[in-house]
Amino acid sequence: MELKREVGLLWQQFKALLVKNLLLSWRNKRATFLQLFASLVFILLLFCIDRATRSMNYGTTAYKSVTDPLVSFYPSIPPCEDKLYIKFPCFDFLWSGNDSFRVRNIVRSIMANNPGRAIPSSKVMSFTTKEEVDEWILNNQNRVPGALHFRETNATFISYGLQINSTVATKRGHFEDPTFKFQIPFQVAAEREVARSVIGDSNFGWVVGFKEFAHPARETFSALSTIGPAFFLAFAMFGFVLQISSLVAEKELRLRQSMSMMGLYESAYWLSWITWEGILSLVSSLLLILFGMMFQFDFFKKNNFAVVFLVFFLFQLCMVRPLSAFLA
C-alpha cells in the first residue's frame, strides 16, 4: 500500500474511520434502529394522547361549530343515577317550603307530571327552609343534582329558586352539561306547575323549547403544542445519548490514544464522527417529519418542509460538535 502524507493520509484515515463507524452501527443494530426510528414511537404516543383527548370531548358540542342548534321540548328531570359522579343512595331533587300546603301540591304535581316518567316520593326529600337544605347537602355531598326553593307570598304570587351544581363533568368521553341536563328541566317543571297552581287549571298547556346559542368550535386541547416539544426534545437527545456512549467506550478502551500513537490525525477522527452522526441525524430528521405527516399532524403538514427539517436536523447536528470538544 502506498504511504500517503498530509491531505491524502487525512482522507485515507477519514474513510477508514467512517467504515469503522458503519461496521459498529451494523453490529449494534438495536441501538442504530432505536436512534433512527425513535421518532415513530414518540409520534405514535402523541397520536394516541391526541385521539384520547378528542374522544373525551366527543360528547359535547363546545368543540363543534354549531350554526343551527336543535330545539329541545319537554325536558324531563332525569333520575339521579344518570348524573356523573353520584353517590348512592341518591335523590332526584330536594325542595324547601314544605310548611305550605300549596307548595306541597306543586311539588306533587312536578313529580307526577314529569315527562317520560313519574318521580317516586322515595327519590325526593323535603325541608322547611333553604338553610336546612344547605346543611343536608354539606353533610351529604354528591347525592343530589339540585334543589328547588319555594316561597308562597300570597294567593297570586309564588316565587322559587334553583340550586344547581354548575360544574361541568366529564367521564370516559361522556360530557355532562348541568344547564341543559338539570337546571332547565327543574326550571320548566317549577314554572309549569306554579303557573297551573296560580291560574287554577291543572291542564294548562306549557310548551317551551330551548336550544343553545349558535357558536363556533372552541379550540381543543392540542397534544402536539402542549407536550410535543418535550417529546421532540427526547427524540433529538437519542442520538446524543448513543453517541456519547460510543465515544466514552472508545475512551475507556483507549482506542483513540492507541490510534493516535500510530499516526492518526485528531481532525480525521473527529471529522469521521461528525460526518457519521450527521448522516444519522439527517435520516432520523427525515423520518420524524414523514411519520408526523403520516399521522396527519398539522405542525408537519402546514409548515414548510425544509424549515421543519432544518430545525430538527440542525439541532441534532449542534449536539455533535460540543460533545466532541468535551471528550477531546
Q: What is the pLDDT of residue 323?
A: 52
Whether residues 189 and 281 fall in one domain: no
Question: 281-297 burial, b if ≥16 CB within 10 A, otherwise e?
Answer: beebbbbbbebbeebeb
Specify if 218 maps to a domain. Answer: no
**147-161, 223-237, 282-296, 311-325: least confident range:** 311-325
Is the Cβ–Cβ distance between 239 and 319 less than 8 Å?
yes
- In this structure, are 106 and 167 located in the same domain? yes
Q: What is the largest CA-CA distance in the chain?
A: 118
Return the DSSP state at 158: E
- Residue 4 is predicted with a pLDDT of 59
CB 223 within 8 A of CB 50: yes
Return the bridge partners of 83, or none: none
Compute the C-alpha angle 253/254/256, nearest 5°: 125
* 294 has a pLDDT exceeding 60: yes
Kindly state whether residues 283 and 260 are assigned to the same domain. Answer: yes
Domain co-membership, 42 together with 105: no
Q: How far is CA 7 from the centre of its chain?
A: 57
Q: Is residue 190 part of a domain?
A: yes
Q: Per residue in 61-114, pLDDT tens?
A: 777 788 888 888 778 999 999 998 999 999 999 999 999 999 999 999 999 999
Pair 18, 276: CB distance under 8 Å: yes
Is residue 1 assigned to a domain?
no
- Are 204 and 227 found together in one domain? no
pLDDT computed for residue 326 by the predictor:
45
Domain assignment present for residue 246? The answer is yes
pLDDT in the model for residue 28: 81
198-218 pLDDT, tens digit per residue, is 998 988 888 888 888 888 877
State whether 111 and 187 are in the same domain.
Answer: yes
Q: Which of 210, 231, 260 is the last residue of a domain?
A: 210
Domain of 177? 72-210
Strands 209-210, 169-171: pairing kind: unpaired
What 3-state class would DSSP assign to 209?
A: strand
Q: Check whether 50 has a pLDDT greater than 60.
A: yes
Flag whether pLDDT at 10 surpasses 50. yes
Alpha helices by DSSP H, the chain: 6-27, 29-56, 101-112, 130-139, 178, 184-199, 223-252, 255-261, 266-294, 298-301, 305-326
Q: Quick one: average pLDDT of 306-323? A: 81
Range 128-156 average pLDDT: 93
How many domains is the chain built from? 2
Domain boundary at 184, 210, 236, which? 210
In a domain, 256, yes or no: yes
Range in 119-123, 155-159, 204-208, 244-248 the model is least confident about = 244-248
Task: Return all residues near 73 (Cβ < 8 A) that are at least 6 apart.
Answer: 207, 208, 209
Say how far apart CA 145 and CA 84 lie, in whole Å: 10
Domain boundary among 170, 188, 210: 210
- Assess if residue 59 is contained within a domain: no
Is 130 or 19 the better-scoring residue by pLDDT?
130
Specify if 61 maps to a domain: no
C-alpha cell belonging to residue 11: 482522507
Same domain, 77 and 203: yes
Pure H helices in 85-129: 101-112
pLDDT 10s digits, 17-44? 888 888 888 888 887 888 888 888 889 9
Say if residue 105 is in the same domain as residue 10: no
115/199 same-domain check:
yes
Arithmetic mean of pLDDT, 285-312: 91
Give the span between the Cα atoms of 147 and 156, in whole angstroms: 23
For residue range 220-247, list pLDDT tens digits in order: 767 777 888 888 888 888 777 777 777 7
Identify the CATH number of the domain in which residue 120 sits: 3.40.190
Same domain, 22 and 103: no
**One domain for residues 80 and 186:** yes
Nearest to 168 by CA among 263, 61, 73: 61
Task: Indicate whether 282 belongs to any domain.
Answer: yes
pLDDT of residue 11: 82
Same structural domain, 195 and 228: no
